[in-house]
Chain A
Amino acid sequence: MTAVPADRPTDQDIDPRPRLTRLVLTTTGLVVTRLLIIGVVLLAWELASGTLVPKFWVSSPSAIFARLVQWIADGSLWRHLEATLLAMGVGYVIGCLIGVATGLALGFMPFVQRILMPYLAGLYALPKIALAPLFIILFGIDIESKIALVAITVFFMLLYNTLDGVRDVDGDLVEALELMGATRREIGLKLLIPATLPWIFTGMRISVRYALTAAILGEVIGANRGIGYLIEASAGQYNTTGVYAGVLVLVICCVTLTELLTRAETSTRRGGP
């Protein structure tokens, strides 16, 4: 779509698309259209449920909504949401801190890095979810085991991003600073860390989504609280309404998180050089 100069009225002849298409493509048009689609889907779902398809399999929008209201009213929604977000947040922070610190330390000590890399590569390749049962044994059924699972997932992402960042530093810059008389410490502070920061931020951004996934998976595998537990527990009782309601909460969480991340990204991009 090209911008039309202000002094020329947008004539119908200029835009060859049908009137309806143009109407839909305005901002409000888009919102209304999207609402219409979801409305139609929900309505069809409601009507089909119990008539075309047994209610046992698909539940129904009204039942799901009622369940959500009930969860909100009795406070269980907040309790589970809190557990999931707490596991995710604490694990994320721990994973970021240790991942960046280890990445920088190994980056500064290429010798140690060479020795340890095969072990780290092996652990990195391992799907972390396989560790969930072990963590439950080690840290218990409560939130600690989920924190550990999130932390180890995030740790490896940050470790590898930081290492890639250090590896990407131009050796000629290192030499230039060395010739000026910089010590190893100064090369770290003035060159390696600032050069690696963008890589660290990228790692932090990407791993937010993985942190949520790890928290939910941990809860599905074994927990006594959390959205993942809610879904798993409902499924265990063949309570499809509960499963759908749990999934819906999860969808809302993901959308909110993605939206927040996008905002944070655009604002940082506008800020820095």
Chain B
Amino acid sequence: MPPRDAVMVADAPARDPRAAGVPKIELVGASKTFYVRGQEVTALQPVDLTVGDQEFVALVGPSGCGKSTTLNLVAGLLRPSRGEVLYDGVPVTALNRRVGYITQKDTLLPWRTAAANIGVALELQSRAVPRAEAQERVAQLIDLVGLRGFENHYPAELSGGMRKRVALARTLIYEPECLLMDEPFGALDAQLKLLMQDQLQQLVHQRRMTVLFVTHDLGEAIALADRVIVFSARPGRIRAVRDVALPRPRDVFKMRFTEGFGRLHEELWDELKDEVAKGVDV
């Protein structure tokens, strides 16, 4: 892999011509069944899902319905039990290094400070940059995620929300062309969450990223996404899909009070609430 591959891809206005018109991410009848101590657990029923280039798609659904499993399939951490997962039209058969994955569980290195964790990707051969540039980019991202003053704190000395932001910065720093985000703002307070949503929205636009975003927060899904997909309770399948036709750039702070937002929220909530109730019964 040539150095700074990911950066060049992310900056280039026109991507691989072969991929023109081909969706970035495509799940074709992809399902996943786990075998736990001889017992079958169907995490995901066959799902068809398409995320276009530079599209922002949000997944919502009750706990345990297979949202993280879906992201793991796209990242190549799991193979589908049936069906296919395509990235840029090519089946995902190994780890998918074109995506940046912010997992639900944070995976920071405990012996590195926040700043050193954020910079780790730039130390790798495949993404190496000169030390001075790396430092500058780390500083930029620390500002971006609002962690100034905590550069030298170890993960154990940070709050859950802070660790999530370090994980976010650690991924954003290498500018992947596609982001998989699993409840990245779940541990943040309401105000900070809005700030981070706003930052993310701007950055995604600037860098022309494709995003597959998992959240429990319906309002967050509508505020950020071009399309919201509601999953049913486990075993997950797609229950509803709604395009969010609200104009961009959006004002994440005020849009909640607009009529269009309210209507969409109600519609989606009607779909979601039955499933959440089912999820709780189980």
- The chain A residues found within 8 Å of chain B, CB to CB, are 170, 172-173, 175-183, 186, 190-191, 194-195, 273
Contacts and interface: CB of A to CB of B under 8 A. Distances in A.
A175 B77 contact: yes
Interface residues of B, number: 24
Interface of B: 1, 6, 75, 77, 95-97, 99-101, 103, 105, 107, 109, 111, 120-121, 123-127, 154, 174
Contact of B123 (A170, A173, A175, A190): A190
A140 B123 CA distance: 51
Contacts of A180: 97, 120-121, 124, 127, 174
B109 A186 contact: no
A180 B109 CA distance: 14
B97 A179 contact: yes
B206 to A, nearest CB: 21
B103 A181 contact: no
Contact of B99 (A175, A179, A195): A179
A169 to B, nearest CB: 11
B95 A179 contact: yes
Given A172-B105, A175-B77, A194-B109, A181 B121 contact: yes
A194 B121 contact: no
A67 to B, nearest CB: 52
A191 B107 CA distance: 11
B111 A194 contact: yes
Contacts of B96: 179
Given A186-B124, A186-B125, A190-B120, A181 B107 contact: no
Contacts of B97: 179-181
A172 B95 contact: no
Contacts of B75: 179
Contacts of A170: 107
Contact of A190 (B1, B107, B109): B109
